[in-house]
Each structure stands twice: as C-alpha cells, then as structure tokens.
Amino acid sequence: MGGEREGGGKDLTRARTSTLRRGAGGRRPTGPQSFLLGCSFLITLGSFAVLPYMSVLLHQRLGLGLGTVGAVLAVASLVQFSGGVAGAALARRIGLRATMLVALGVRTAGFAAFLPGLGSPVLAVGALFLVSCGAALYLPANKAYLVEGARESERPRLLSASGSAFNAGIALGPPAAAPFVLTSPGALFGTVTLLFAAVGAGHALLPPAPPAPEPRPTAAPSPATPPAAAGSPPPRREALPFTVTVLSVYVFMFFQHYLALYAVPRTSASFYGAVLMGYACLLVVAQPLLSEWIAALAYRTAIRVGFGAMAAGTAVIAAGGRPGIGAGAALICLGEIVLFLKNDLEALARSSAEPATVFGRQRLAAGIGAFASGVAGGQLYGIAEGAGMVPGFWLAVSLQCLILPLLPALMTRVRRRRS
C-alpha cells in the first residue's frame, strides 16, 4: 500500500501502524475501525434517505416514464455493484485511504448535483450515476481497511459489525426522509450533501491502513472446504465463492424487488414498512451474534443452511397473509446473514490477493446476480400475475433456491471427469 504512506513522518506512520495492529488483535475495534463502522451507518443513513425514493422523484417530479425509470435504476445498480472491480484496482494504485477519499468526493458531488437536477431529468440521471460510481469505489476499500492488519479470527467480527452498521442505516434512512422527499427535496439533498462532506473530511484524518500481520503466499481453503487438487491454479479455487455469491444475490433480489408488489395489496403499506424495519433490525442484532458460528461452519453446510432458509422463506411467503409474509422475511434474513458473510470470509480465505481485490470481485459477483434477478424476476412475476397465480412466483423462487446450490458441485464433477 505505497500510496497510503505519503505525508507525516516515518516515526509517526510507524507508531500509528503499530497501534492499529495491536488493536486488530484485541477484542475491541481500533479507533480507526470504530470510526469506519460509525461512518458505515452514516453513509447508508444518508444514501437510503434518498435512493429508495428515486423512482418516485424521477417519475412523479421529473416526468420520466416507468420503463425509462426502470432502465435507469437497473443500470445504476449494475454500476454500483460491478464497479467494485474498478474500486479495487484504484486501491491497489493509490491506497485504501486515498480511494475512500476519492469515492466520497465523487459521491458528495453526486448528491450536490441533485440540487439543480431537481428541475432537469438529464442532470438528475447524471447525479444518480455519480452517486453509484462513488459507492462502487468506496465499499471494497472500506472493507479492506477494516480487515487489513487483523488476524484471521478477527475478520468475522469486523465484517459482521460492518454489515450491522450498514443495515442500521438502511433501516432508519427511508422513514427519516419520508416527510421531506416530495415536500422539501432540495433541503433533503442539501442535508445529505453536507453529511457526506463531513464524513469525507473525517476520512482525511485516518492513519494509513496497517499491513497484514504476515504475508500469505497461498491462501489455504477453510477446514471444511474440500482441498483443491495439487497444482490447480488459484482462480479455480477462488471461483466457488464468486459463483455462490452470484447465486445468493440472484435469489435474494427477488425478495427485495418484488415483496412490495406482493405484500402491499394483501396487507397494507404500513405492514410492509414494519416488515422492512423488522428485517433490518434483525440483521443488525443477529449478524454479530451469529458471526463466530457462521465462520466455524463448513462452507458446504453454510450453503445448505443459507439457501435452505431462503427456500423455506419464499415458500412461506407464497402462503400469503401477515404471518406468512412476516415469517418468510425472517427466514430469508437468516439466509442472507449466513450466505453473505460466509461468502466474503471464504473468498478471503481462498485468495492470495489483497483484500480490496477480493471484495471488488465479490461486488462484481453481486452485480451479476442482481442484474440477472432483475431481468428474470420481471418476466417471471409478469407471467404469474397474468395467470392470476402470483403465489406461484414465490414457489418458483423457492424451487430455484433448492436447485441452484447444486450447480457448483455439478460443475466441479464435470471438470474432474474431463481432467
């Protein structure tokens, strides 16, 4: 991380690095890690005060057609996820701290551009893409800074705490902004811009990211992962977490994109909002509590548990009604907690690349899964709705949750037979 060592004296840098490394091995996060966790909450609080309402702003205020709005949001989501690869590459070149500063600068500029964009669809769409690009650059560097210098045993705790901080912001952002979205959008975007500017200024005071405790020339698979054949190239070993992440996000996004269409007409908008709030709160509380258990799970077991919970959750949602939708959401939450954390941990364990590169690849995998889910989900939901069998949509998703996890093992068997 040569780009991280500019400025300050060598003695100061050495002292800061030593402090960070001592803290990474302890029970509590270091000061910089705690700061980043707090910023993770503020960043998602500000982002989700605005982004969930983009379809309303683009359609109702700026007059864009729903088809155009859908296409804009789909491409913005793809940029936000898949651009993590560019974020990882930038982190390798200029360092983690500098990459986070660039990302926050781009994102702050994006939210500021919404102010004149409230009267122009072109400016509003451009501002949205700036915000998406900033998010793409930031997250790999953020996660890498958290785990750099930390021991292997500390990573589940740090990553689960990061996930909880993000989800707390997701839970509180939309209800906090709801009264202002249509009545005072300028004040809302101005407040969010100032929040991101302040967060960026705080990042400028971060010390350089610590080096890893010791080099890892070749990452060994987790104890529960079947060993790779001797002499097999690392990319093949690293492909499994990438593939499982694609599949995990693919099935999860059905829930995120289409639950509102299903739940609101059958219950109420307030009940749907309560489900989302409860879901986010469950993530915040349960993920840190389950992190050590998830880290100790065999990868194949974690895949079965995660996809099994999602299959059960979507099947229960198909039953309809408030109890079914609430219980189904809780089961899907369990699946998300297990799969998303375990996939990141396994990707780190199997790779000899820098953490920022690993997280960039994981974001790319998430982008592929989200994009595929958006394309397939719209068609599938439309068919089910046209046939008057919308519960069948959730049963079809449940069936995919049972079948798709079998594909990586099947591909491995086919490769072994050919080799």
Asked if pLDDT for residue 131 goes beyond 80, the answer is yes
Helix (H, G, I), strand (E, B) or coil at 74: helix
What pLDDT is attached to residue 287? 85
Average pLDDT value for the chain = 80
Give the sign of the dihedral formed by CA 335, CA 139, CA 354, CA 253.
Answer: positive
Pair of tokens at residue 175: 């209800």
Asked if pLDDT for residue 184 goes beyond 90, the answer is no
Give dist(CA 338, CA 160) in Å, integer.
10
What pLDDT is attached to residue 324? 94
Q: SS3 breakdown of the chain: % helix, strand, coil, rounded to 5?
A: 80, 0, 20
Per-residue pLDDT tens for 247-271?
999 999 888 778 877 887 888 877 8
**Which residues, 6+ apart, have CB-to-CB distance to 389 below 8 Å?**
none
Between helix 66-82 and helix 121-147 the angle, nearest 10°, is: 30
Which band of pLDDT confidence, cut at 50, 70 and 90, is reported for residue 219?
very low
Most confident listed range (32-46, 110-124, 322-336, 351-365): 322-336
One DSSP character per residue, 257-317 reads HHHHHHHHHHS-HHHHHHHHHHHHHHHHHHHHHHHHHHHHS-HHHHHHHHHHHHHHHHHHH
Residue 151 and residue 213 in contact, taking contact as beta carbons nearer than 8 Å = yes
Q: How far is CA 183 from CA 179, 313, 319, in A?
A: 7, 37, 38
**Which residues, 6+ apart, have CB-to-CB distance to 349 below 8 Å?**
152, 219, 220, 221, 222, 225
Pair of tokens at residue 218: 């070749």
Give dist(CA 75, CA 340) in Å, integer.
23
Neighbours of 218 (CB within 10 A): 9
Rounded to an integer, the average pLDDT of 380-390 is 84
CA-based R_g, the chain, Å: 21
Asked if pLDDT for residue 210 goes beyond 90, the answer is no
Pair of tokens at residue 128: 């949205």
Give dist(CA 119, CA 260) in Å, integer.
29
Most confident listed range (111-120, 197-206, 356-365): 197-206
Asked if pLDDT for residue 143 goes beyond 80, the answer is yes
Per-residue pLDDT tens for 20-79?
344 434 457 788 888 999 998 999 888 888 877 777 788 777 887 757 777 787 788 788
Give dist(CA 273, CA 280) in Å, integer.
11
Per-residue pLDDT tens for 274-321?
887 888 888 888 888 898 899 999 999 999 999 999 999 999 999 888
Place of tokens 């155009």: 68
Residue, of 301 and 236, whose pLDDT is higher:
301
Give dist(CA 5, CA 98) in Å, integer.
10
Chain centroid offset of residue 38 CA: 16
Pair of tokens at residue 209: 């990211």
Pair of tokens at residue 368: 């592929």
Neighbours of 211 (CB within 10 A): 14
Give dist(CA 223, CA 77) in Å, integer.
35
Per-residue pLDDT tens for 76-108?
878 888 788 888 889 888 999 999 999 999 999
What pLDDT is attached to residue 16? 37
Of 153, 128, 27, 140, whose CA–CA distance to 73 is shortest? 128
Pair of tokens at residue 83: 């651009």
For the chain, what percent of residues have pLDDT higher than 70? 84
Q: How far is CA 86 from CA 89, 96, 129, 139, in A?
A: 5, 13, 15, 11
Give dist(CA 23, CA 395) in Å, integer.
47
Per-residue pLDDT tens for 386-401?
888 889 999 999 999 9
Instruction: Show the domains of the chain with their CATH numbers.
Output: 2-8+18-203 (1.20.1250.20), 234-418 (1.20.1250.20)
Of 193, 189, 44, 33, whose CA–CA distance to 106 is shortest? 193
What pLDDT is attached to residue 4? 37
> Exposed (0-12), middle (13-18) or buried (19+): which is 75, by Cβ within 10 Å?
middle
